[in-house]
Structures are given as C-alpha cells and as structure tokens.
C-alpha cells in the first residue's frame, strides 16, 4: 500500500496598502502610476478619492478604488468633511500600510496609523503650504502649516517630486526626504495621428498648455491674451483649474474662439494625441510663491515624452532642466506682449525648433516612469 504525502504549499498573504487623495482619481497620473507599480510589486492596493456629481460609481483600474460622495465640494467645508470621512474609513477598514498623498490627507492617515501601530508613508506632490491659494488666505494656511509642523518631524518614510522641495523639507524638519519625480511613462505610440492633425491645425502652428492644476499665477490668462498677436497659430488648453472660467471669458473678450480652444480633462492617452501634434508645449508659472518657484510641473514630462519643444518661465527647477538639455526656451517675464513676441520668433526659427525637437528623442528615453519606478520600488521593498 502506497502512502501519499500531500505537498505543503506556502501561501503568502499580500500586504494591504491604502492610498489617499482628495481628487476624483480620474486624471491623477502620479497616483495611478504609483498604485500600478505597487500592485506589480505584490501589494493589495486600494486608492481612495472623491466622486463628483454625475460621475459613475466605478472607474476602470487594475486595483481597488473607492470614492467618497461628499455634501461639500469646495473650500473649508470640503476639507473638513473629506478628512472626517477618510478618518472613519481608515479606522474601520484593515490595512498594513498607509500612503498619504499631500498634506490635505496626512492628518487622518497619521492618526489611524498611530492608533493601529502601522507604517505611514508620505508623498508630497508640491510645497503645499506655499501654494498661492493658501498664501492669499493666511488663517487657513496657518492651520495647514500647524498640521505639517506637528506631523512631519515624526515621519519615517517621505518622498517628494524634486530635489529642490526635498532640500527645503530636510532643512525645515531634519527628516530624510527621497525624490520620486512625476515622470511620464514611455509613450508607446509616438506616431502622429495625421488625420487628427489635419483636422485640428491644418497649416497652422499649435501651442498646448495642459494639466489638472491650471490655476492662478500659472500664466494661462496671459497666454490667452497673447494669442491676439501670435501669427498663424492655434492654442489648446486642456485640463482643469480655478481660472478656466476666466480663460473662457478672455476668449470671448478678444474674439479668439476660432484660435483658442479650452477642453476639459481628457483620458491620458487621448490627451497625448493632442500633445504630439503641438509645435510647442507651454509651462509659464509665475514666481509669486515658493511652490511654483521650486516646482517641476507634470506637463513638462508629458511634453518630453511627446517630443515637443518647451517654452517655460524662468522658474528655478524647470528652467534649469530646459537649459541643461537644450530642449526649449526660457521666458523672463510672463506678460502677454512679451509672450507673443517670443512665440512668434520661436516659430520662425525652424532650424532651431527642429534641433531642439531632435534633442528630445534621447531625453524621452532617459526620463521615463519605467526608470523612475525602480527608485520607487527601493522605498517600498522594505514593507513587503
């Protein structure tokens, strides 16, 4: 009689990680990339956000998502309600790791991680307390600054979007801050959709400004105004932000409806079809606050992947990137007539435009999420 011994199979339970953001998840490419990378590492990922009126209950992702439907969607009442809802959700659900994205989700994550004795990771997408929306509201800024000053020195695992902001936080709080840049994934289809190009721009040149944070002091109003004097060129502004209604008013005021087109947020793949056919990518933040001065906008890496030269303002980090790699032009003052004169000159310099476009070919390979992801995995490997 034969004896059968059943093989033992080891089942490794996946670590559960929850990511929190205050947006609707749909257009946040940084969080989507990180969530996808963490899932690929073997984590069970849940991403929390909010759901606006008219949006469906689910979005198509390979990881778990949950969006709060809130009573308030603006200002202090939104943040109060969201943070309370987030705290209760985290408290009554079991996770092994908590990832807070930006300061506006940090407090609930910190409190619950302490109550449950779990690890907390902080991803700072910007120099949050120095954004123009808070600088102009000192009392509200003081609240966020108090939260940051209380929690940040206690954090063990922190990363942000560039070295400049990392150095600021290190100096302020004596905490090690790593850098995970918000670099775009390799663009798999680099071919231009010629039918779309013919339909959208024809024989005209095309400018593009894109992003989910086209807000005050990012140069969008000046760019639209400048279109009065820019020759044989159309402008597409695609995304969202608190100045969108102003931009639409400016289009009407200056009778630019046939030359300036303002589109709401698009799926990333569709957005990049527009970006690829542009002749120049625009990122002209003003130097009115430390956040913009030290920022490296997401749109810059999208332009690099689409291999379109850039026109940027003279902000510390982004201008250094453009100059070092010879991929565009830096404008000193964000003023409509100056913008128009500079763009007219750039579009006339066909040879230089072509050379800088060629410089983007190798840079698009160098700056890809597939390479940046390796640095992310180094941070999270300790938690598996």
Query: For every one of its 384 residues, what pLDDT tens digit does the chain have, with 9 covering 90 and above?
Result: 334 344 444 456 899 999 999 988 877 889 999 999 999 999 999 999 998 876 766 788 999 999 998 888 777 889 999 999 999 999 999 999 999 999 999 999 999 999 999 999 999 999 999 998 899 899 999 999 999 999 999 999 999 999 999 999 999 999 999 999 999 999 988 889 999 999 999 999 999 999 888 999 999 999 999 999 999 999 999 999 999 999 999 999 999 999 999 999 898 899 999 999 999 999 999 999 999 999 999 999 999 999 999 999 999 999 999 999 999 999 999 999 999 999 999 999 999 999 999 999 999 989 999 999 999 999 999 999
Q: List Cβ neighbours of 292 (8 Å cut-off, separation of 6 or more).
A: 132, 217, 218, 285, 286, 315
Element (H, E) at 172: helix 163-173
Answer yes or no: CATH 3.40.50.2000 is held by domain 16-183+369-383. yes
| Six-digit token string for 81 | 């309600």
Backbone angle region of 42, left / alpha / beta, with phi > 0 → left and psi within -120 to 50 → alpha: left
Phi then psi for 173, rounded to 5 degrees?
A: -120, 0
Q: What pLDDT, on a 0 to 100 scale, did the predictor assign at position 311?
A: 98
pTM greater than the 0.85 cutoff: yes
Phi then psi for 182, rounded to 5 degrees?
A: -90, 65
Q: What pLDDT, on a 0 to 100 scale, did the predictor assign at position 53?
A: 76
HSE-CB at 228 with a 13 A cutoff on CA atoms is 14
Q: What pLDDT, on a 0 to 100 scale, did the predictor assign at position 215?
A: 92
- Which single residue is written with the structure tokens 């603006």? 74
Q: What pLDDT, on a 0 to 100 scale, did the predictor assign at position 12?
A: 64
Domain ranges (residues) in the chain: 16-183+369-383, 194-366
Superfamily of domain 194-366 in the CATH hierarchy: Glycogen Phosphorylase B; (3.40.50.2000)
Phi then psi for 193, rounded to 5 degrees?
A: -75, 100
Give burial (CB, 10 Å; 0-12/13-18/19+) of 135.
middle
The 10 Å Cβ neighbour count of residue 267 is 11
- Asked whether this chain's domains 16-183+369-383 and 194-366 adopt the same fold, the reply is yes
SS (H, E, C) 58-123: CCCCCCEEEEECCCCCCHHHHHHHHHHHHHHHHHCCCCCEEEEECHHHHHHHHHHHHHHCCEEEEE
Euclidean distance between CA atoms 349 and 282, whole angstroms: 17
Euclidean distance between CA atoms 131 and 50, whole angstroms: 22
Euclidean distance between CA atoms 33 and 369, whole angstroms: 8
Q: Is the separation of the CB atoms in 95 and 10 below 8 Å?
A: no
Euclidean distance between CA atoms 185 and 33, whole angstroms: 8
Sheet holding 310-313, edge to edge: 260-264, 233-239, 205-211, 280-283, 310-313, 328-331
The 10 Å Cβ neighbour count of residue 89 is 17
């Amino acid at each position: 009689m034969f004896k059968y011994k059943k093989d033992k199979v080891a089942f490794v339970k996946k670590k559960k990680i929850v990511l929190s953001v205050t947006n609707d998840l749909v257009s946040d490419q940084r969080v989507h990339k990180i969530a996808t990378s963490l899932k690929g590492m073997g984590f069970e990922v849940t991403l929390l956000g909010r759901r606006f009126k008219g949006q469906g209950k689910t979005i198509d992702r390979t990881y778990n998502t949950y969006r709060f439907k809130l009573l308030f969607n603006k200002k202090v009442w939104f943040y109060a309600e969201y943070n309370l809802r987030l705290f209760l959700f985290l408290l009554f659900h079991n996770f092994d790791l908590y990832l807070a994205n930006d300061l506006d989700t940090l407090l609930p994550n910190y409190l619950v991680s302490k109550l449950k004795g779990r690890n907390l990771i902080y991803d700072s997408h910007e120099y949050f307390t120095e954004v123009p929306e808070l600088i102009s509201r000192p009392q509200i800024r003081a609240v966020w600054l108090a939260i940051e000053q209380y929690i940040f020195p206690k954090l063990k695992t922190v990363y942000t979007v560039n070295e400049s902001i990392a150095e600021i936080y290190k100096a302020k709080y004596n905490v090690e801050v790593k850098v995970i840049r918000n670099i775009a994934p390799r663009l798999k289809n680099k071919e231009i959709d010629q039918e779309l190009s013919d339909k959208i721009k024809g024989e005209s040149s095309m400018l593009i400004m894109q992003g989910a944070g086209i807000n005050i002091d990012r140069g969008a109003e000046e760019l639209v105004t400048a279109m009065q004097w820019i020759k044989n060129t159309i402008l597409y502004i695609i995304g969202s932000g608190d100045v969108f209604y102003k931009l639409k008013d400016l289009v009407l005021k200056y009778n630019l409806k046939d030359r300036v087109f303002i589109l709401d947020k698009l799926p990333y793949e569709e957005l990049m079809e527009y970006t690829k056919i542009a002749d120049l990518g625009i990122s002209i933040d003003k130097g009115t606050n430390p956040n913009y001065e030290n920022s490296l906008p997401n749109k810059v890496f999208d332009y690099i992947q689409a291999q379109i030269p850039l026109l940027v303002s003279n902000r510390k980090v982004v201008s250094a990137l453009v100059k070092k790699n010879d991929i565009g032009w830096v404008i000193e003052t964000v003023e409509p007539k100056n913008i128009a004169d500079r763009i007219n000159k750039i579009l006339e310099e066909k040879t230089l435009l072509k050379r800088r476009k060629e410089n983007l070919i190798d840079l698009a390979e160098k700056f890809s999420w597939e390479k940046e992801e390796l640095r992310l995995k180094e941070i999270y490997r300790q938690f598996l």
